[in-house]
Amino acid sequence: MTKSKKSNNKGFAKCQPEDHPFAQQYNKRMEECGGDFLEYQRRYNRHTLRISLTDEQVGKELWGDKEITFYNEDNAISHLAFLSDLLDLLVQEENRWWGCGMSDDALVERITSFVKERVSPPEGYAKGEDNLVPLTKIAEDLKKEMSND
């Protein structure tokens, strides 16, 4: 009986049998990156978020070639969700005048409050400390919230 060589790679391959095609691909790519996980992320875990405007009359993308590439899918999805929710907020009937020079204080407050809520650290967050919340606390809070409904 021979001992199999243990991989010291972090990430996906650790969760799969060494002979699985995805694990083999991951191991090959990590080798190409010299075992550097950040380099692997830059080369192979890219997710690009694009913002554009298409003129449907002519069927062409005419404006907004803004794009940014993230090296982490969760980060890309978080940014996409933020922009999607902001767009939904901006097109609500009560918020449509923001770009016309006719906005009032209430409109400015609705928009800035949305941004502040989304980007501010959660209540009780202490910078530089362990801010993990035990699952039991989350479950208790959820139970309380559900019983209030």
Q: What is the mean pLDDT of residues 50-59?
A: 91
Q: Where are the domains of the chain?
A: 12-44
Give the residue from 96, 141, 86 showing the smallest Cα distance to 117: 86
Q: Residue 37's CB: how many other CB atoms inside 10 A?
A: 13
Q: Confirm if 30 and 13 have CB atoms less than 8 A apart.
A: yes
Taking all residues of the chain, what is their mean pLDDT, rounded to a whole number?
84
| Cβ count within 10 A of residue 86 | 14
Q: 19 or 77: which carries more pLDDT confidence? A: 77
Which tops the pLDDT comparison, 75 or 149?
A: 75
Other Cβ atoms less than 10 A from the Cβ of 23: the count is 19
> Mean per-residue pLDDT for 72-79?
92
Q: How far is it, in rounded angstroms, from Cα 81 to Cα 16?
A: 30
The residues facing 50 across adjacent strands are 67
pLDDT band at 7 (very low <50, low <70, confident <90, very high): very low
Distance, CA of 29 to CA of 36 (rounded, Å):
10
Global pTM value:
0.63
Q: Is the dihedral of CA 92, 62, 58, 101 positive or negative?
A: positive
More confident residue, 10 or 127: 127
